[in-house]
Amino acid sequence: MIKFTIDGVEVQAEEGQNVLQVALDNGFDIPHLCYHEALEPYGACRLCQVEVTKGNRTSLTTSCNYPALEGIDVQTSTDKVNKARKMVIELLLSRSPNVPVLKELAEEYSVGEPRFKLGDDDCILCGLCERVCREVVGVEAISFLGRGSDRKVGPPLGINPQTCIGCGACAYVCPADCIKIEENENERTIVRWGRTLPMKKCKVCGRSFAPWFQLSYFDKITEGIPKDFWEKCPDCR
Amino acid sequence: MDPKGIDRILEKYEYKDSAVIAILQDLQEEDNYLSENDLVYISENLPIPLTRVYSIATFYNAFSLTPRGKYPISVCLGTACHVRGAPMVLDRLRLELDIDVGGVTDDGLFSLETVNCLGACAMGPIVVVGKDYHGQMTPAKVGTALKKYRKPSKE
Amino acid sequence: MKSINTPQELEKIRKEIVGGRDPEKPCIAITSGTSARAYGSEKVIDTLRAALKKQGLTKKIDIRITGGQGFDEREPLLIVYPQDILYQQVKPKDISEIVSETLLGNRIIDRLLYKDPQTGEKIANKDDIPFYKAQTPYVFGNNSKIDPTSIEDYFTIGGYSTLAKVLTEFSPEQVIDIIKKSGLRGRGGGGFPTGIKWESCRNAPGNKHYVICNADEGDPGAYMDRGLLEGNPHSILEGMMIGAYAIGSDEGYVYVRYEYPLASENVEKAIEQLRDYGLLGKNILGTAFNFDIKVSRGGGAFICGESTALMASLEGKVGEPRAKHIHTVESGLWDQPTDLNNVETWANVPLIINKGVDWYTGIGTEGSKGTKIFSLVGKVKNTGLVEVPMGMTIREIVYDIGGGIAGNGTLKAVQTGGPSGGAIPASLIDMPVDYDKLKEVGSMMGSGGMIVMDNKTCMVDIARYFMNFLKDESCGKCTTCREGTRRMYEVLDAITKGEGKEGDIELLEELSWIVAEGSLCALGQTAPNPVLSTIRYFRDEYDAHIKEKSCPAGVCKALITYSIDEEACTGCGMCKKICPSDAITGEKKKLHVIDTEKCIRCGACMAACNFDAVTVV
């Protein structure tokens, strides 16, 4: 076990854990946007910054990808940390003033009207959608495109990503709630990517429960599951 | 490009997906730009996820997903060229060609791009037209420099 | 090609090649790097070949095509040996005269010689020319002695004999010790002690180690690495092989930026020639050292000069940096221990081992040993690549070597370190060129770009220029860099357009803080430097733009007007003819007038006027 302190409190961590996860597990409230425990830390939003003292050096660093190390001291709320946090929120808010989670953060951390010209982006570029699609689901249907302030996430050809199975994992992890899913009896549409897939109806109850494509993909990547498993919805299984 | 041509390029790089940047450069060198068909072909045959091909094609300055002019024009905006008046040369080109950066002239002869330093600072400001380097450019020299490319005999 | 299997065979081949050449045989060397080619050097070479053939002199006179030799401003340079006469700005039409007068008639052609602007004296010998006199070209000087596409030429100057010595006489640890003691620091900008880097990499666990040459050279205005890669690629390859031996690596990459096609080509040729001689692959020179190397080209992204982004690009991905809590010497290319060094750093390695630590540490300052190649560009008379000992003052470089300010301006600042560096005001140019001293004044060594600015350079415009560059080159991954550089640019752009307001400077300083503190990689972390240093030393210019809505240097278009002086104007009409927006009216021989509404401030009229009648207000 690795022992270190957060805000003076001693905590324990396992080899390979990052500071943010340990902090969250121990009830410390470090704000974060692009971190998800099921995915590799990315370090893009910069919101999770804390001050870490290692030996005789203290530095401001992102906690999501900083390794838990023996004897370090982590401070989650110094003047420097608070200043950095507020400015990061201000920068994000000025780009995306209508995103609910940013408005909540601004309220919580007393960030006023941004001092910059307001944009209108509904996406905060955290990358969780493309990371879950690539790392967990494994279909790599969407990716980052462009560079700098032109950076955005989307399907390669602009619409209808061919490998998307319509699982909705991207919508599930999105903190900005900008990936909408529409469903009717026969189809599911991931609106943001312009991907519409026909749904399979449960053999037992007749309800549409998942896109055909998604089920056949899961069937392909799993082993030892009887074929009729995919014919029934989760409730009827 | 026809599939055989792309296959040749893929073979040259031994179908290694780590060579995708070089593959795209070779393709654009021949075709003047990267078409959707070609990128899909590369994705299917390298193979490499199409998302990665497009991430790379849109990230790096070298690539253009739209056809460029017969003579792509690159204006160097490196610091040394800037200090010697490159922005004014760029403005003059905009006026002369009636297009903005990223555009192509109606006759398809010229397209306009900027580059962040060609490393030929001694001759700045520099404008590259096609493969020719034109040094010590001034707004006044722009018209004359473009003349030879406009001549129909120039191939 | 015969395979060279032992150091003795290498020495034998060297002797054979040297023995087969007559040092007194007439030779003409012509520079033909990228700069020279842009000035038409290839045509000059073709004309010379044809002229020699016509006169039946092809066998009697050698032609040696070299890379750049520093004085790029005057290229193509043509040097006649063995007399050692340097002709500058040679054109195809000069060739027949050179052949008849100098080659056959042993007479010097005055008009092609360098003319000292102070004394009016014509100087024939390269080493007497002020541009070259004060330099110490230990690394770059070999460019003049070899054809970069000839490994045989490299053999004649002792090429690969240092590698042979290292492989047979030193252990890897001994090599690392030499480099540590030499004080060699990274020439790419970071200035990290090379020996320590090599040692950390060697000691990092893992059975595959890589060495990389960072030839991405993205700083605008800096092209030292291009000069070395084009002109002497073997010096870098030899350095890399020595480093690979020291680190325990058997695979290397040279990552060349895509904007350098000739450099890429010459390195590829050099590698091919090494292979032809059996000097790459297994058991090099009959030792247990195995090594192979490939060239990889960039795709046009400044960020790929950053080590983790470069490695991502090598792996075939976008150039997105990653956090460096774990250093690349431990986990780099394909997660293996990787040593990445700059072109010039690698080129210094054979020199240090060959001449020894005592010699090397005798050059430079306490904290900065050896020499540094700078690209001296901008508003300076003698533009080109210069190699000087660390510790030489900026004044000496700009005036003694650079010849002072071009045109009739006065020196205002010298910018070093590219987009990560800062402007050093004229008042401080007696400072030495030194890693730590440059940091103290708010700049940095950087890769070696040294951009001279005069009174007609607007420092607010320069800050805006760098911010524009950085926001375009930001990979966009992290909030602080992506959004911060963009907002800093917006504030600066507004200031240059006369829309600045009270509090803008404080806002820039606040943004600078978060961009520097909060960004993931060195691009963001150093992005505020040009802004902070210009605020530090040229606050008055910022104030003039913000408070008085004026641009003292006469650059910012929204704040200046062009007008024609009544006294000086002769009514020749040249300005009217050249004006692209029809903003000038006037009759022949009468005063011409500029319509400020139509004027786009392109400066074409000023350039066209032969009477200095166009002024900027």
- Beta bridge partners of residue A74, listed in sequence order: A6, A52
Q: How high is the pLDDT of residue B91?
A: 87
Q: Quote helix, strand, coil % in chain A, to nearest 5.
A: 30, 20, 50
pLDDT in tens, C419-456: 999 999 999 999 999 999 999 999 999 999 999 999 99
Is residue C607 within 8 Å of C614, Cβ to Cβ?
A: no
Degrees, nearest 5: CA angle A38-A42-A47:
105
Q: Give the nearest partner residue to A148 out of C482, C513, C520, using CB atoms.
A: C482
Ordered alpha helix ranges (H), C248-318 = 261-276, 307-314
pLDDT bucket at A156, cuts 50 / 70 / 90:
very high
pLDDT in tens, C361-381: 999 999 999 999 999 999 999
Residue C379 backbone phi and psi in degrees, to 5: -90, 45
Q: Does B101 touch chain C (CB under 8 A)?
A: no
pLDDT in tens, C160-185: 999 999 999 999 999 999 999 999 99
- Side chain identity, residue B43: S
Q: How far is A186 from chain B (nearest CA, A)?
A: 28
**Cross-chain Cβ contact A156/B51 below 8 Å:** yes
Q: Sign of the CA dihedral C202, C203, C205, C207?
A: positive
**Cross-chain Cβ contact B54/A163 below 8 Å:** no
pLDDT in tens, B50-94: 999 999 999 999 999 999 999 999 999 998 888 888 988 998 898
For A59, how many CA atoms within 13 A lie in the half-sphere containing its CB? 13
Q: How high is the pLDDT of residue B116?
A: 84
Which residues of chain C does A121 touch, with a Cβ-Cβ cutoff of 8 Å?
none
Q: How high is the pLDDT of residue C137?
A: 96
Of C587, C588, C576, C557, which is closest to residue C614 (Cα–Cα)? C576
Q: How far is A165 from chain B (nearest CA, A)?
A: 15
Taking any CB pair shorter than 8 Å as contact, residues of chain C touching chain A are 301, 318, 322-323, 325-326, 471-480, 482-484, 486-487, 490, 507, 510-511, 513-514, 517-520
Residues in chain B: 155
Is residue C149 within 8 Å of C400, Cβ to Cβ?
A: no
Q: How high is the pLDDT of residue C616?
A: 86
- Is the per-residue pLDDT at B155 higher than 70? no
CA distance C185 to C509: 31
**Cross-chain Cβ contact C484/A91 below 8 Å:** yes
Q: How high is the pLDDT of residue C75?
A: 92
Q: Does B122 touch chain C (CB under 8 A)?
A: yes
Which residues of chain A does C525 touch, with a Cβ-Cβ cutoff of 8 Å?
none
**Cross-chain Cβ contact B139/C384 below 8 Å:** no
Is residue C98 within 8 Å of C78, Cβ to Cβ?
A: yes
Average pLDDT rounded to a whole number, residues C114-138: 93
CA distance B113 to B115: 7
Q: How far is B56 from chain A (nearest CA, A)?
A: 8
Which residues of chain C does B86 touch, with a Cβ-Cβ cutoff of 8 Å?
none
Q: Which H or E run contains A211? A: strand A208-211
Q: How high is the pLDDT of residue B53?
A: 97
Q: How high is the pLDDT of residue C248?
A: 97
The SS3 assignment for C31 reads: strand
- Is the per-residue pLDDT at C266 higher than 90? yes
Q: Does C17 touch chain B (CB under 8 A)?
A: no
Percent of chain B with pLDDT over 90: 65
For all residues of chain B together, what is the average pLDDT? 91
Question: Residue C484 CB: number of other CB atoms within 10 A?
Answer: 31
Which residues of chain B does A146 touch, with a Cβ-Cβ cutoff of 8 Å?
58-59
**Cross-chain Cβ contact B59/A147 below 8 Å:** yes
Q: Sign of the CA dihedral B39, B41, B46, B52?
A: positive
Is residue A85 within 8 Å of A109, Cβ to Cβ?
A: yes
Which residues of chain B does C260 touch, with a Cβ-Cβ cutoff of 8 Å?
119
Residue C39 backbone phi and psi in degrees, to 5: -95, 10
Q: How high is the pLDDT of residue A85?
A: 97
For the CA atoms of C255, C259, C261, C266, what is the dihedral angle to 10 degrees? -50
Degrees, nearest 5: CA angle A135-A139-A141:
105
Q: How high is the pLDDT of residue B83?
A: 86
Is residue C338 within 8 Å of C311, Cβ to Cβ?
A: yes
Question: Residue C403 CB: number of other CB atoms within 10 A?
Answer: 19
Q: Does B66 touch chain C (CB under 8 A)?
A: no
Ordered alpha helix ranges (H), B32-141 = 36-45, 50-59, 79-83, 86-97
Q: How far is A60 from chain C (nearest CA, A)?
A: 7
Average pLDDT rounded to a whole number, residues C64-83: 94
pLDDT in tens, C558-604: 999 999 999 989 999 988 988 888 899 999 989 999 998 888 887 88
Q: Which chains touch B (3 or more CB pairs under 8 A)?
A: A, C
pLDDT in tens, A108-154: 999 999 999 999 999 999 999 999 999 999 999 999 999 998 999 99
- Is the per-residue pLDDT at B23 higher than 80? yes
Which residues of chain C does A148 touch, with a Cβ-Cβ cutoff of 8 Å?
471-476, 482, 486
Question: Residue B4 CB: number of other CB atoms within 10 A?
Answer: 7
Residue C510: closest CA among chain A residues belongs to which residue?
Answer: A87
Q: Which chains touch C (3 or more CB pairs under 8 A)?
A: A, B
Residue B20 backbone phi and psi in degrees, to 5: -55, -35
Percent of chain C with pLDDT over 90: 88
Q: How far is B94 from chain A (nearest CA, A)?
A: 23
Which residues of chain A does C471 touch, with a Cβ-Cβ cutoff of 8 Å?
148-149
Q: How high is the pLDDT of residue B106?
A: 93
Residue C79 backbone phi and psi in degrees, to 5: -115, 130
DSSP, res C104: I
Average pLDDT rounded to a whole number, residues B33-59: 96
**Cross-chain Cβ contact A149/C486 below 8 Å:** yes
Q: How high is the pLDDT of residue A28?
A: 96
Q: How high is the pLDDT of residue B117?
A: 84
Percent of chain A with pLDDT over 70: 100
Q: Give the nearest partner residue to C38 out of B61, B115, B123, using CB atoms.
A: B123
pLDDT in tens, A62-117: 999 999 999 999 999 999 999 999 999 999 999 999 999 999 999 999 999 999 99
Q: Does B65 touch chain C (CB under 8 A)?
A: no
**Cross-chain Cβ contact A146/B52 below 8 Å:** no
Question: Residue C120 CB: number of other CB atoms within 10 A?
Answer: 7
Q: Which H or E run contains C506? A: helix C504-518
Q: How high is the pLDDT of residue B26?
A: 95
| A 91-110 residues with CB < 8 A to B | none
Which residues of chain A does B38 touch, with a Cβ-Cβ cutoff of 8 Å?
none
- Is the per-residue pLDDT at C45 higher than 80? yes
Q: How high is the pLDDT of residue B153?
A: 57
pLDDT in tens, C54-64: 999 999 999 99
Q: How high is the pLDDT of residue A178?
A: 97
pLDDT bucket at C389, cuts 50 / 70 / 90:
very high
Q: Determine the angle formed by the axes of helices C459-473 and C529-537, rounding to 10 degrees.
A: 170
- Beta bridge partners of residue C389, listed in sequence order: C371
Residue B52: closest CA among chain A residues belongs to which residue?
Answer: A143
Which residues of chain B does C600 touch, with a Cβ-Cβ cutoff of 8 Å?
91, 95
Which residues of chain B does A145 touch, with a Cβ-Cβ cutoff of 8 Å?
54-55, 58-59
Is residue C529 within 8 Å of C422, Cβ to Cβ?
A: yes
For all residues of chain A together, what is the average pLDDT? 95
